[in-house]
């Protein structure tokens, strides 16, 4: 699999599609090693439409953050393009793949296995999968943001943050 140079795109709304699960599984199979587990997170993992970016987390143990970052960079993932990137101790790396002749943007979050962040990601996904009403509200939130004319990825992300935080506040972590 070839990881291509990432392109920052304008935020748009793409309805959720089962192909996102196939793309994520293809990447999980490609990236996972005996040292690193990979999980599918974010909207595409819990059937919510949005930008269609596939978010994954690569999970490291034994303080192997640098090893995990080096590994995913060796596969072709690049540093995050952002005015306000994730911190060095919790980085995100990005790339693009083609799968069944379609282009998919990929975000890889580097997370310590069994950390509070890892637990939060799992519980958030579980909550969203088990709550169709929350998924519907999240899609409405995203569409509302876009209808206000906000298409910059970073601004869009900040605008949807209150919804995510409201869900996280309901989850016992």
122-127: list long-range contacts, CB under 8 Å, 24+ apart.
122/39, 123/171, 123/172, 123/173, 124/41, 124/164, 124/167, 124/168, 124/171, 125/41, 125/45, 125/46, 127/167, 127/170, 127/171
Look at residue 68 in the predicted model and tell me its pLDDT: 98
What percent of the chain clears pLDDT 90, i.e. is strictly above it?
Answer: 88
For the segment 32-90, what is each residue's pLDDT rounded down to a tens digit?
A: 999 999 999 999 999 999 999 999 999 999 999 999 999 999 999 999 988 888 889 99
**Model pTM?**
0.94
Contact of 18 with 52, CB cutoff 8 Å: no
More confident residue, 153 or 102: 102
- On average, the pLDDT of the chain sits at 95
Look at residue 87 in the predicted model and tell me its pLDDT: 86
């Amino acid at each position: 699999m070839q990881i291509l140079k990432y392109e920052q795109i304008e935020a748009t709304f793409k309805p959720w599609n089962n192909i996102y699960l196939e793309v994520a599984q293809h990447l999980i199979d490609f990236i996972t090693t005996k040292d690193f587990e990979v999980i599918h997170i974010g909207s595409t993992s819990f059937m919510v439409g949005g930008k269609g970016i596939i978010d994954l987390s690569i999970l490291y143990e034994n303080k192997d953050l640098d090893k995990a970052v080096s590994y995913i960079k060796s596969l072709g993932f690049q540093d995050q393009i952002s005015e306000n990137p994730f911190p060095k101790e919790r980085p995100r790396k990005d790339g693009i793949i083609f799968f069944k002749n379609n282009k998919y943007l990929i975000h890889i979050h580097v997370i310590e296995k069994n950390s509070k962040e890892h637990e939060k990601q799992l519980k958030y996904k579980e909550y969203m999968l088990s709550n169709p009403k929350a998924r519907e509200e999240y899609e409405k939130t995203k569409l509302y943001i876009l209808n206000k004319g906000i298409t910059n990825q970073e601004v869009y992300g900040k605008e949807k943050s209150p919804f995510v935080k409201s869900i996280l506040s309901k989850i016992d972590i």
